[in-house]
């Protein structure tokens, strides 16, 4: 109780300090914020400040913040009282919610087959219980798969496998889960379909799957290789463990874990179909959420599995957290805060392409660490379009095959998602699933690992991007 009061006091003190800066310091230095901008910013900053202290569950905090955002929105005239429901509904990204719900159901059905336990024992036996080999193997697998499958889906598949391995070896799975989530965000940044912001950017800019492979994947591969070294340093104490029951593990029969081979065939068949449709969803003009929900529904029909069992695997608290967070961020966006900050930051570069690219990368990385990169990307896309029409900058952009600012935005938004627990959908989904399986991941635990890795990978990728701009003729 005492620690909760201290944490709450710290959070409220931060809010008070932020309010003082916005009301009294910013006007002195020339920044003029409207009342709506100040209040919505304080709500967002306050939510994150209290979230760090962990005195309230993130779902509770997000719902409370969403309610306050709606009240403030009406009070300051962002929208009339009769439009509150419309505002809330418009704020929620139902494509993201639907995708998560559908894939959680599919993965939940697969979990009933015992195939995750099979995979866990098989992988642990092949690595002979070496924790670093297991972590490295699953990190690489997660990164590669995330490039060709939505990274949220990838972690939904990998987390149960990881926990299965950890339970067999009697070790804490959280560090391995963290490594996989971080790898998934890096790998997902490399392709058009790997991360939701990339899909949004590709659609707005008319960029193809091959464009991402040619102009963005090389930098991300370089960043991932460096991230492996960083993760080995960050987890150096953890990977030195010597599990006591390795010999017992090697004697286990992984085939005995497969409980229903018919269910395995049906569920993996549906999963394969869903993945294929994800790859071609752009050509088919079908939203990923529709594919995931349709796949989940079809799987429930052909397997006749109990809905209670299937829905029991859904991380409802994570989905509700997303709903609240979308409403809070929408309030900040509607007040004009994000657009104001982005425009002021870009003015610093004076219209020079290299400084502008670096600014977009780092501004996006830090912003995406604290604001989910999906709404952030939605805010930045029209801004990048407007900035690119500046005559001085447009002349420089015309010398490149594609606009480098799009790669800067994709890179920053994707890699920045590793900065904090709330930076990317995959982070929250993994934390929710891990918590449901008995291994909670705190905001601070993620921050200690994710933020340093975000800084290193962003630095490496941005340097490679500038090098390619300056020295690769076809770039």
pLDDT tens profile 224-282: 999 999 999 999 988 887 776 677 667 777 777 677 788 888 888 998 898 888 777 76
218 and 135 co-located in one domain? yes
150 and 269 co-located in one domain? yes
99 and 176 co-located in one domain? yes
Structural domain includes residue 55: yes
Q: Dihedral through CA 20, CA 23, CA 29, CA 34, nearest 10?
A: 150
236 and 113 co-located in one domain? yes
The pLDDT, as a whole number, for residue 28 is 44
Structural domain includes residue 168: yes
The pLDDT, as a whole number, for residue 14 is 53
Write out the residue range of the structural domain in which residue 16 sits: 1-90
Structural domain includes residue 180: yes
Q: Cβ–Cβ contacts within 10 Å for residue 375, how many? A: 22
Of 177, 79, 103, 129, the C-alpha closest to 435 is 177
Pick from 38, 58, 90: which residue ends a domain?
90
Low-confidence ranges of the chain (pLDDT < 50): 24-25, 28-30
The pLDDT, as a whole number, for residue 308 is 81
Structural domain includes residue 334: no
161 and 291 co-located in one domain? yes
**Cβ neighbours of residue 379 closer than 8 Å, sequence gap 6 or more:** 333, 338, 339, 342
The pLDDT, as a whole number, for residue 208 is 76
144 and 259 co-located in one domain? yes
The pLDDT, as a whole number, for residue 5 is 57
Number of domains making up the chain: 2
62 and 99 co-located in one domain? no
The pLDDT, as a whole number, for residue 8 is 56
Structural domain includes residue 134: yes
Structural domain includes residue 129: yes
Residue corresponding to tokens 């604290």: 370
125 and 179 co-located in one domain? yes
28 and 99 co-located in one domain? no
| Half-sphere exposure at residue 343, Cβ-oriented, CA atoms within 13 angstroms | 12
72 and 167 co-located in one domain? no
Percent of the chain with pLDDT over 70: 89
The pLDDT, as a whole number, for residue 394 is 85
Q: Mean pLDDT over all residues of the chain?
A: 82
SS (H, E, C) the chain: CHHHHHHHHHHHHHHHHHHHHHHHHCCCCCCCCCHHHHHHHHHHHHHHHHHHHCCCCHHHHHHHHHHHHHHHHHHCCCCCHHHHHHHHHHHCCHHHHHHHHHHHHHHHHHHCCCHHHHHHHHHHHHCCCCHHHHHHHHHHHHHHHHHHCCHHHHHHHHHHHHHHHHHHHCCCCHHHHHHHHHHHHHHHCCCCCCCHHHHHHHHHHCCCHHHHHHHCHHHHHHHHHHHHHHHHHHCCCHHHCCCCCHHHHHCCCHHHHCCCHHHHHHHHHHHHHHHHHHHCHHHHCCCHHHHHHHHHHHHHHHHCCCHHHHHCCCCHHHHHHHHHHHHHHHHHHHHCHHHHHHHHHHHCCCCCHHHHHHHHHHHHHHHHHHCCHHHHHHHHHHHHHHHCCCHHHHHHHCCCCCCHHHHHHHHHHHHHCCCCCCCCHHHHHHHHHHHHCCCCCCHHHHHHHHHHHHHHHHHHHHHHHHHHHHHCCCC
Residues 40-64: pLDDT tens digits? 888 888 887 777 676 778 788 889 8
Structural domain includes residue 323: no
62 and 105 co-located in one domain? no
Pick from 35, 55, 90: which residue ends a domain?
90
Query: pTM for this one?
Result: 0.73
The pLDDT, as a whole number, for residue 130 is 84
Pick from 290, 311, 332: which residue ends a domain?
311
The pLDDT, as a whole number, for residue 268 is 87
283 and 269 co-located in one domain? yes
DSSP string, 327-347: HHHHHHHHHTHHHHHHHHHHH
Structural domain includes residue 113: yes
């Amino acid at each position: 109780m005492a620690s909760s009061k201290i944490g709450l006091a710290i959070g409220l003190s931060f809010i008070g300090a932020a309010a003082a800066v916005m009301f009294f310091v910013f006007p002195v230095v020339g920044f003029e914020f409207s009342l709506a901008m100040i209040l919505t910013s304080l709500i967002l900053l306050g939510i994150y400040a209290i979230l760090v202290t962990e005195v309230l569950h993130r779902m509770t905090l997000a719902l409370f913040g969403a309610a306050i955002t709606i009240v403030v929105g009406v009070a300051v005239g962002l929208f009339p009282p009769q439009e509150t429901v419309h505002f809330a509904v418009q704020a929620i990204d139902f494509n993201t919610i639907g995708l998560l719900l559908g894939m959680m159901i599919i993965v939940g059905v697969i979990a009933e087959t015992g195939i995750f336990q099979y995979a866990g024992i098989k992988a642990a036996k092949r690595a002979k219980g070496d924790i670093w080999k297991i972590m490295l193997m699953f990190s690489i697998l997660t990164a590669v798969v995330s490039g060709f499958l939505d990274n949220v889906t990838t972690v939904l598949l990998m987390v149960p496998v990881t926990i299965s391995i950890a339970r067999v070896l009697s070790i804490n799975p959280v560090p391995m889960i963290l490594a996989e989530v971080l790898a998934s965000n890096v790998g997902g940044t490399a392709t058009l379909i790997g991360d939701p912001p990339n899909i949004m950017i590709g659609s707005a800019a008319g960029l193809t799957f091959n464009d991402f492979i040619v102009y963005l994947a090389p930098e991300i591969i370089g960043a991932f290789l460096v991230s492996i070294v960083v993760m080995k340093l960050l987890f150096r104490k953890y990977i030195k463990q010597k599990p006591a029951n390795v010999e017992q593990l090697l004697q286990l029969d992984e085939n005995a874990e497969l409980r229903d081979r018919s269910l395995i065939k049906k569920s993996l068949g549906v999963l394969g179909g869903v993945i294929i449709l994800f790859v071609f969803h752009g050509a088919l003009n079908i939203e990923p959420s529709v594919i995931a929900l349709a796949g989940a529904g079809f799987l429930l029909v052909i397997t006749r599995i109990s809905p209670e069992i299937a829905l029991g695997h859904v991380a409802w608290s994570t989905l509700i957290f997303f709903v609240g967070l979308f409403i809070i961020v929408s309030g900040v966006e509607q007040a004009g805060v994000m657009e104001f900050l982005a425009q002021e930051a870009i003015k610093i570069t004076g219209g020079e392409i290299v400084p502008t690219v670096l600014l977009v990368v780092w501004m996006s990385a830090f912003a995406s660490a604290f604001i989910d990169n999906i709404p952030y990307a939605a805010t930045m896309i029209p801004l990048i379009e407007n900035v690119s029409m500046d005559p001085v900058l447009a002349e420089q952009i015309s010398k490149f095959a594609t606009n480098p600012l799009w790669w800067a935005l994709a890179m920053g938004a994707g890699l920045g998602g590793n900065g904090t627990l709330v930076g990317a959908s995959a982070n929250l989904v993994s934390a929710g699933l891990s918590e449901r399986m008995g291994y909670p991941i705190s905001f601070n635990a993620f921050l200690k690992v994710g933020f340093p890795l975000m800084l290193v990978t962003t630095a490496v990728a941005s340097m490679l991007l500038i090098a390619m701009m300056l020295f690769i003729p076809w770039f």
